Amino acid sequence: MRSRNVVDGEDLQSTSVGVARRVWRSAGSVARRSRNAAPDGRSYSPIRRLVLLVPLAVAAFVVLVDPVRAFEARLTAAILGSRARLSDHATLIIADPGTVQPFAVQISRSCSALPIVLGAVLVGCSFLRSGLGRRLVAVASATVLALGVNALRAGGIVLVGRRRGTDDMVSLHDWVGTVVTVVTACLALALLLWIGTDRRPPGDLHARHPGHG
């Protein structure tokens, strides 16, 4: 049963890669259309673009959350080294012979950094006006930050549980872990905007589009 769980997780992950690409293409298509004109000739507002993309983000979360948290579990296990091993695609077994009783820690759907990543995609497609390449780099940078910090957060919480017991681990997760998640979301958004915003002088932009104003 355990090996079957692992195989199922790998199959789901490989399948979801194609789905994620289609979702990203669909999001880009909506963003491109919305930057042109609405059927009545007016430009779509960023808020309207955001509303159009939210259903795609929800669908992406449903499809990708299990593969992403499986990746986060592997990343956390790599950070912890020999202290942790994977039980299935999203559960860590924490063991330190001679010190504590082994216990299991699962990265749940609510603990994944995927909502932060999808939020970065939504902001990148809805509010950024720079080129596609620049927006892709901005979203990728925010993604790396969110996944990396979340893995460090999970690893730190696990180490507290290993040394002080599961009660302290749960308390740390509920309070400090939540604060870290909020701060990470803010930093990811700031990084996205810093990289993805075109900060050239207005004259340069008019030079590229001489027909506009």
pLDDT reported for residue 60: 94
pLDDT reported for residue 74: 86
pLDDT reported for residue 146: 96
Residue 209 lies in a domain: no
Is 10 strand, coil or helix?
A: helix
Residue 114 lies in a domain: yes
What are phi and psi for residue 91, nearest 5 degrees? Answer: -120, 130
Residue 171 lies in a domain: yes
Range of the domain at 46: 2-199
Residue 204 lies in a domain: no
pLDDT reported for residue 143: 95
55 forms bridges with which residues in the sheet?
none
Residue 38 lies in a domain: yes
pLDDT reported for residue 86: 74
CA dihedral 207, 209, 210, 213 (to 10 degrees): -110
Residue 208 lies in a domain: no
pLDDT reported for residue 48: 87
Contact yes or no for 94/84 (Cβ under 8 A): yes
Q: What is the pLDDT along the chain (213 residues), one digit of tens a residue?
A: 333 343 344 454 555 555 555 655 655 555 555 454 444 445 568 888 888 899 999 999 999 999 998 898 888 888 887 667 777 667 777 766 555 567 777 888 888 999 999 999 999 988 888 888 999 999 999 999 999 999 999 888 888 877 777 778 788 888 888 899 999 999 999 999 999 887 766 555 444 544 443
Residue 211 lies in a domain: no
* Identity at 191, one-letter amino acid code: L
pLDDT reported for residue 32: 55
Number of domains in the chain: 1
Residue 212 lies in a domain: no
> Can you spell out the DSSP letters for 172-211?
HHHTHHHHHHHHHHHHHHHHHHHHHS--S-HHHHHHH-TT
Q: If you count them, how many residues does the chain have?
A: 213
